[in-house]
């Protein structure tokens, strides 16, 4: 299927998903019979999607990027979630050689020193494992919501990801935090205890802090940077960067 065909398919799917509820959106993706992979960070939005997949026993693979720098609370939640919903969450980890090369160039915590170094770390610990998780997939399901940040305010239900040559599906695009909380309560969904400690968005431990009253949901991610649209590269095209960043996945 050509890129143009994929774009047209994504546009049609975006329109179809708009009128469905979460279960219907996920069921429609599963019904195509193509390989669909949901990547979870174990955050509250992703826990909702995992619950919907598990409760309906949908043939959508669930995977997580175990970066090596996650909070212990996040790691513990993987096992709890598998047991609660009777599913297997695939773990994708960075290559030790890549970690060693990063440390040799920037230092293990060099991401605090420059945006370049931070992007290089995200590349090694997230983007390379993500490429493995999505290899051969037709659909990539994510927990993106329009309310998470200004950078995500126009998130569609489905879009063609030209960089990865697949269709990205965002079934919670129009959900509010109130919607999320209501689903969690109704389905007794296990969540990360860090959410109750002021962490609405949870990534790697060295790069995440609790937010202050009135701050946006993602203000605690890479808080030392000034760019209001800061991202790790999972959900934006990966910019050309350092030679380390351009290492083939």
What whole-number distance in Å separates Cα of residue 138 and Cα of residue 140?
7
What whole-number distance in Å separates Cα of residue 18 and Cα of residue 27?
13
Write down the residue that tokens 């230092």 correspond to: 107
The H helix count followed by the E strand count for the chain is 8, 6
Of the residues 121, 204, 207, 232, only one is catalytic, namely 232
Q: How is 197-234 classified by DSSP, letter by letter?
A: GT-SS--BGGGB-PPPTT--TTTTBSTT---TT---SS
The yes-or-no answer on residue 204 being catalytic is no
Cα atoms in the Cβ-side hemisphere of radius 13 Å centred on 46: 25
What whole-number distance in Å separates Cα of residue 6 and Cα of residue 15?
14
What whole-number distance in Å separates Cα of residue 54 and Cα of residue 58?
7
3-state helix, strand, coil in the chain (%, to 5): 45, 10, 45
What strand order describes the sheet that includes 166-169? 89-92, 61-65, 36-40, 139-141, 166-169, 158-161
Pairing of β 89-92 and β 61-65? parallel
**Could you give the residue numbers annotated as active site?**
232
């Amino acid at each position: 299927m050509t890129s143009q065909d994929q774009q047209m398919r994504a546009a049609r799917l975006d329109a179809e998903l708009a009128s469905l509820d979460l279960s219907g959106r996920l069921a429609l993706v599963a019904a195509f019979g193509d390989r669909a992979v949901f990547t979870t960070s174990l955050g509250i939005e992703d826990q909702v999607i995992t619950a919907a997949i598990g409760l309906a026993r949908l043939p959508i693979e669930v995977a997580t990027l175990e970066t090596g720098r996650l909070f212990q609370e996040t790691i513990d939640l993987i096992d709890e979630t598998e047991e609660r919903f009777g599913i297997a969450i695939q773990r994708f980890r960075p290559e030790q050689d890549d970690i060693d090369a990063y440390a040799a160039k920037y230092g293990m915590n060099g991401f605090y020193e420059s945006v370049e170094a931070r992007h290089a770390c995200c590349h090694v610990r997230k983007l390379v494992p993500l490429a493995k998780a999505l290899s051969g997939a037709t659909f990539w399901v994510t927990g993106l919501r329009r309310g998470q940040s200004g950078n995500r305010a126009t998130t569609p239900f489905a879009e063609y990801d030209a960089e990865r040559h697949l269709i990205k599906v965002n079934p919670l695009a129009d959900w509010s935090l109130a919607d999320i909380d209501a689903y969690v309560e109704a389905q007794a969904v296990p969540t990360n205890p860090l959410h109750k400690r002021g962490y609405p968005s949870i990534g790697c431990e060295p790069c995440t802090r609790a937010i202050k009253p009135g701050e946006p949901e993602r203000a605690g991610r890479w808080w030392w940077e000034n760019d209001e649209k800061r991202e790790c590269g999972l959900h934006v095209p990966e910019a050309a960067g350092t030679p380390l960043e351009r290492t083939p996945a």
